[in-house]
Amino acid sequence: MNNFTTIDIIFVLMLILSLYLLVQVLKQEKSLIEEPITHNKKRYLIYPDKLIRQCGISPSHYWLWYWSVKLVSVALVAFLLIEFFDSILLIVCGSILAFFLIDVSLLFKRSARRNQINQSLVFFTNLLIVFLKSGLSLSNAFRKAGQFGLHKNNPLAAELELIAYELDAGRDRAEAFDQLSSRTGVESLNKLAVIIKAGINVGSPVSDGLQSLADFLRLQQELQLTSRINRKALESTFPMAMVCFPMFFVLVFFPAGQQISDIMSLLGEIL
């Protein structure tokens, strides 16, 4: 009984520690302004710094949390499987899946973050054009568009604040906008960076290219919305068919089958 109580206490402590570490790792937009230029300080570790940065997390600050969650997850799953199962293969497979659990959660988080940025990009681009035409500098236009056009919890707002901070600090504009698209992994931001870099190098107005980009992004969003509606309509067709088929069978096939049966019985009596 004492041994079972000790096991329960260890299990609860490991579970609490694992949940705490997971929350810390997945905390959004943490310390991005503290390190405007991201360097890979842990090159000797197998560490997905690019994936973590695209999730809105500073890689240099979270490598310890990342590996702690991995090790705690493996220990927790292995402990549970050992307690309830005797299969070594099951224990090994469960431990391997637990080892990559944090990576899968980061992939989902990156996908959700990219979708949120894409949804906010059209309005931000239009607002950026307005501020640029009003005479603001590029860094101030980015900062104002992020402050007044986006919610403070929006991941795009954090990235805009960061790039404005970099431009004010004197970083090369072409390099800063290249890093913007690399930090997020959003293809539309890459197009935005290309347009701004081309305008800076050639000396042409950036607002004209941004207006074309805004129109393209708006059309792309409309096509995605139409495709999503069509997919939902197609997905709803199958359950509707499953629900309507019994009624269709009762109203159409059953009376017809009954009439055919009566006719065959009548023919049998005549013959």
- What are the residue boundaries of the structural domains of the chain, listed by start? 2-99, 116-220
Contacts of 193 (CB under 8 A, 6+ apart): 177, 178, 180, 181
Token pair recorded at residue 130:
């307005």
Task: Give pLDDT, residue 38.
Answer: 45
Token pair recorded at residue 2:
């004492």
Task: Give pLDDT, residue 60.
Answer: 76
The DSSP bridge partners found for residue 57 are: 30
Between 143 and 97, the higher pLDDT residue: 97
Find the mean pLDDT for residues 254-266.
75
Task: Give pLDDT, residue 72.
Answer: 81
Q: Which residue has the tokens 């068919």?
A: 241
Computed over every residue of the chain, the mean pLDDT equals: 75
The CATH code of domain 116-220 reads 1.20.81
Task: Give pLDDT, residue 10.
Answer: 66
Task: Give pLDDT, residue 11.
Answer: 63
> What are the φ and ψ backbone dihedral angles of 152, each rounded to 5 degrees?
-65, -25
**H helix count then E strand count, the chain:** 11, 0
15 pLDDT more than 80: no
Task: Give pLDDT, residue 22.
Answer: 61
DSSP tag of 205: -
DSSP tag of 240: H
Angle at the Cα of 109 from the Cα atoms of 117 and 63, rounded to 5 degrees: 115
> What are the φ and ψ backbone dihedral angles of 129, each rounded to 5 degrees?
-60, -40
Please provide the distance, in angstroms rounded to a whole number, between the alpha carbons at the two ends of the chain.
Answer: 84
Query: CA nearest 99: which of 82, 80, 75?
Result: 75
Q: Distance between CA atoms of 165 and 29, rounded to whole angstroms?
A: 15
Q: Distance between CA atoms of 142 and 121, rounded to whole angstroms?
A: 12
Token pair recorded at residue 233:
């309509």
77 pLDDT more than 50: yes
Task: Give pLDDT, residue 36.
Answer: 45
Between 2 and 224, the higher pLDDT residue: 224
